Structures are given as structure tokens and as C-alpha cells.
Amino acid sequence: MPIRVMVVEDDPSQCRCMAIGLRTEGFEVVEARSGAEALAHLDDGPAAVAVVDLMMPNMNGLELCRLMKERFPEVAVVLTSAYHLSQRQIELAGIGHARFLGKPFTIDCLAEAVRAQLVDEPMRQAKIA
């Protein structure tokens, strides 16, 4: 059974490109165009990893990640943005362990980041706790 990844991106063409690319890498992909839609998808069924755009209207990526941390702590996160974030900034945001991937990126880099989140030691420890 393929690993389920949720792509949360408000730009329809970017969301579709990431979804198609991840599907070609063997992942099952669910697309969401907003934080509210992403939470609804997670209520319907789990995802192993959420690829979340930082800059979205209504609910930005950090707000979504905080809600996911509370409601779905088992979901690993890859944050994407054209704006650079350091690992320290991510830690200070209070969203738990997340990997950052700056835009633009290739599908290979995205798939590598998703796979890394699946095996990352801090995430495994968080799932056990």
C-alpha cells in the first residue's frame, strides 16, 4: 500500500505539479488548496506526511501546522516557501519537527524531503511518545 502524502498549496498549478510528481514517485497523494480543506482531509483519513506551503490566505502554513500538531501529531511536515526559514525559526514557531524546502525545488528534492521525514529520528521518537 502506498504511503499517503497530503499536498497543501493554494496555487492550483503548483499543487497539481507537486501531486503529479509525488505520484510518479510512488506516493498516494491528496491535494488541498487551503488549511481548512487540509484539516477536513485529515479528519477523513490519515496522511504520513503533509507538504505545506507557508504563505496561504486565511490560514497560513504555520497556523495549519500548529493545528495539525494538536490534532494529528503523527503527521510529519515538509514546509515549502519562496521565503527562507532557518531550522531555528521553525523551532521557535512551535510547530514541532518540520523540514523546510525552499522554492523553487525539483520533484526529486521534494520526494527526498518527504522520504527523509518518514525516517527522521525526531519524528520516530515523537510517534512513540
The dihedral sign for the CA sequence 83, 114, 121, 37: positive
Q: What pLDDT is stored for residue 88 in this prediction?
A: 66
Q: What does the mean pLDDT of the chain come to?
A: 88
Beta bridge partners of 8: 32, 52
Domains, the chain, with CATH or none: 4-128 (3.40.50.2300)
pTM for the model: 0.87
Span 82-126, pLDDT tens digits: 887 766 666 666 677 788 898 999 999 999 999 999 987 454 444
Span 13-29, pLDDT tens digits: 999 999 999 999 999 99
The Cα 41–Cα 52 span in angstroms is: 13
40-76 burial: b if 16+ Cβ within 10 Å, else e: ebbeeeebbbbbbbbebeebbbbebbebbbeeeeebb
Q: What cell was used for 42?
A: 485529515
